[in-house]
Amino acid sequence: TSSTYDYVIIGGGTAGLAVANRLSEDPLVSIVVIEAGPNAEYLPEVFIPGLFGSGQALTTLNWAYSTTPQPMLNNRSLVINAGRVLGGSTTINAMLFPRAGRAQYDAWAELNRDASWGWDALLPFFRRSERVTPPDAFQVDEGGVTYDPEVHGSASDGRVKVGYPNMFFEQSTLWRQAAVAAGFPGEKDLGSGDPHGVGVSPESIDVANYTRCSATCAYYTPFASRPNLNVITNATVTRIVWDIPSPGSYSGKGQRNLRAIAVEFVQTGSNGIESVTVRREAVVSAGTIGTPKVFELSGIGNSSILRAAGIEPVLELPSVGENLADHVHSYVSAFTNASLTFDALLTNPDAISEQLSLWVTNHTGLLTSFPGSLGLPGPSNIFNNTGNFPTLLQEAKANISHFAHLFANGNALLEKGIRAQHEIVLRSYADDVALPLENSLFPGYAGTAADRPQRNYTTIMNVLYAPLSRGRTHITSSDIRTAPVVDPAYYMHPLDAATHAAGISLARKTLITPPMDSIYLGEFEPGSKVRSSKDISNSLRAAIASSDNHVTGTMAMMPKEIGGVVDTKLRVYGIENVRVADASIMPIPVSAHTVGPLRLSSRSLLIRNQSSTVYVIGERVGLFVSSQATFS
């Protein structure tokens, strides 16, 4: 293998493999992907959709980052999961494949004054990234799937195989009906760009044999024989090597930008540093926590943080690692008299064996898909029904400066950027075009109580998916093996905490609304005694709130003068030939449709989703790079 490549991609995850795939369509360029984890597509925990939790529990495939103790969560440290495997987080995720609403992508465009990141411009990329098998009569009639072919891609050059479950639970249908009865708009395709409504989510599964379709399945395996596409697994990038034109700062006018000339890495089990030469560009796709780490280890970031970690600064870019947002997860679990739930699989080894045998024999049964069915309530309903949201919104508007200052952590430019983000988000709430929350149903227990009564459950997930709080991640050591500090600043904005608590009330309401009430046998968690807003908040802080594994924003796509790190072609400011392609570029988080945590076969799992958007980022970078081999 050559050690010089036109394009070096750091991280073979969701976006990284999409970029590699599209670039390698041109046989005249050479590409190498360097991925820290193994190719694990052969593991049943990966390819059988219903074993989603078991794959995540394989510690060898999961970075499982720990947060700092969170002051607003009674100083609890949470775990943020992320795939450490070829295919990245799509190899261990829950395969849900809806999209966020139009307004949230339009917010990125507005923030960047660049319409190419708005919904209308991104829709062709959503379509191009997927190959959807439309629902059949059973899925429409029995499963309640609503499908709009106008917004989906099904061409043979689409990449991610997407389909609908072939197994439905009665309680999912009842719950969707209850949500509509409670006032939410009715069934619709969750990829339509209109976030108001309840519906069944597509999944990134291949319905030809009901297997997971990860980024590896979509963008690598069918193309592995391309002679110009090289993938090195079990290899962790330690730094990018720069051509430094002259010593000192690179921010001065007329000075030539920094240029990546090589990428260094270590193979698992070896101490020796290896290196590949970058002929044209490097693309960093190491994920929201991994990517800023690679830049900081390479001397790019806030120089005080770098020096404290023993790294000599090369380029001052103080927003690297800042602006981190994560979705916060919680749930209400209730006892149910529904006879078919996922609970047997969580507790009974015989049931697992039986379902495994069904899957192996003819790809049927409970393991064929992820059993969560989704529903999205509109914000006006949530807040009008739960009281004081209009007041909280007013307070948030009045306090914008305070919180922008707090979250910017002394970074004056980023303070402007966070302020601009908050203004857009608060306006979108007031206009009822973006959703701060998601409720969705899991047909079984999905909490963390190992000693719970052995009964059948319904769980309503309640996810805060447009948090205003912003935290950060940074290195503390020059040693690649040291995990970075991760502080998502959960609930630091009071609107986040209040909104999330309101979601619990909303979830409860749908559980007792007809026809859902017909299978409701009382609440297990947080528990019927937890009623007042204060008690609900306390319960979230003490135990129920967890990470939704949905971190974004640490290499934010924003103008440099408001604290951005990359421009709208995802080029890093001040660097000539390096782009970022992964969830870290999302300046404002988008809606995720989430489930978890739950236990399967004694293994805990968390479920999350935003991969459809990350694929779009990868698809776009593929196009940016191939249409513009050098930077303007």
Ligand X SMILES: Cc1cc2nc3c(=O)[nH]c(=O)nc-3n(C[C@H](O)[C@H](O)[C@H](O)COP(=O)(O)OP(=O)(O)OC[C@H]3O[C@@H](n4cnc5c(N)ncnc54)[C@H](O)[C@@H]3O)c2cc1C
Please state the closest distance from residue 235 (CB atom) to ligand X, in A: 6
Q: Which residue do the tokens 């309503």 mark?
A: 460
DSSP 8-state symbol, 306: H
Q: How far is residue 469's CA from residue 488's CA, in Å, rounded to a whole number?
A: 8
Is there binding between residue 287 and ligand X (CB under 6 A)? yes
**Sign of CA pseudo-dihedral 409, 412, 417, 420:** positive
Q: Name the nearest CA neighbour of 123 among 148, 152, 103, 155.
A: 152
Is there binding between residue 296 and ligand X (CB under 6 A)? no
CB-based closest residue to ligand X: 13
Is there binding between residue 508 and ligand X (CB under 6 A)? no
- Spatial contact of 554 and 288, defined as CB atoms under 8 Å apart: yes
Q: How far is CA 505 from the centre of its chain?
A: 25
572 or 614: CB nearest ligand X: 614
319 or 539: CB nearest ligand X: 319
207 or 338: CB nearest ligand X: 207
235 or 540: CB nearest ligand X: 235
Is there binding between residue 83 and ligand X (CB under 6 A)? yes
Q: How far is residue 414's CA from residue 407's CA, in Å, rounded to a whole number?
A: 9
Please state the closest distance from residue 548 (CB atom) to ligand X, in A: 8
Q: Name the nearest CA neighbour of 322 among 565, 111, 82, 592.
A: 565
Residue ranges of alpha helices (H) inside 136-284 are: 137-141, 170-181, 215
Is there binding between residue 591 and ligand X (CB under 6 A)? no
Q: How far is residue 582's CA from residue 610's CA, in Å, rounded to a whole number?
A: 11
Site for ligand X in 450-469 (CB under 6 A): none
Site for ligand X in 397-426 (CB under 6 A): none
**Candidate list 31, 78, 82, 621; residue touching ligand X; CB under 6 A:** 82
**Candidate list 30, 67, 81, 373; residue touching ligand X; CB under 6 A:** 81
Residues paired with residue 268 on neighbouring β-strands, in sequence order: none
For 377-483, list the strands marked E by DSSP.
437-442, 457-464, 472-474
177 or 214: CB nearest ligand X: 214
Please state the closest distance from residue 337 (CB atom) to ligand X, in A: 28
Q: How far is residue 223's CA from residue 229's CA, in Å, rounded to a whole number?
A: 8
Site for ligand X in 7-36 (CB under 6 A): 10-16, 34-36
Q: Which residue do the tokens 């099904």 mark?
A: 154
286 or 418: CB nearest ligand X: 286
Please state the closest distance from residue 109 (CB atom) to ligand X, in A: 20
Question: Which three-class secondary structure state does DSSP give residue 65?
Answer: strand
Please state the closest distance from residue 566 (CB atom) to ligand X, in A: 13
Site for ligand X in 54-73 (CB under 6 A): 56
Q: How far is residue 240's CA from residue 367's CA, in Å, rounded to a whole number?
A: 42
10 or 404: CB nearest ligand X: 10
Applying CB under 6 A, which residues contact ligand X? Answer: 10-16, 34-37, 56, 81-85, 88-90, 92-97, 236-237, 285-288, 290, 294, 549-550, 582-583, 606-612, 614
